[in-house]
Amino acid sequence: MATAKEIAEWMMARIPVGMYMYQETVAYEIASRFGNNFTYYNHNGNLAIGTGVLKEFRKLTRALLSGTRANDHGAGVLGMIAQGGCKKGICARL
């Protein structure tokens, strides 16, 4: 069985450079590939990425941001993720 960290690493590998990933799409892929233990239904009834996976994903993005200046292209979106949120379903933009 996969771990939350392994799924977060899988998510990072799936993010195309300069593209967006939508949380709902990724959540369905995670449920299909790794099982429902890593997803949940949020208050709107939408499938969402589990908190353990998002915690590990934020750790990975923090490591990525540690070498990135605040004014580098894309740092704001990654910074939002590292601070703990996906806005409007957008999980990441690299």
**Predicted confidence (pLDDT) per residue in 22-78, tens digit:** 888 889 999 999 999 999 999 999 999 999 999 998 888 776 655 544 444 443 344
Contact by Cβ (8 Å): 82, 63:
no
- How do residues 55-68 score in pLDDT, each as one tens digit? 998 888 776 655 54
Domain ranges of the chain: 4-93
Dist. CA 85–CA 3, nearest whole Å: 21
- Nearest to residue 93, comparing CAs of 69, 61, 67? 61
Phi and psi, residue 72, nearest 5°: -65, 150
SS3 content of the chain, % helix, strand, coil (to 5): 55, 15, 30
pTM: 0.65
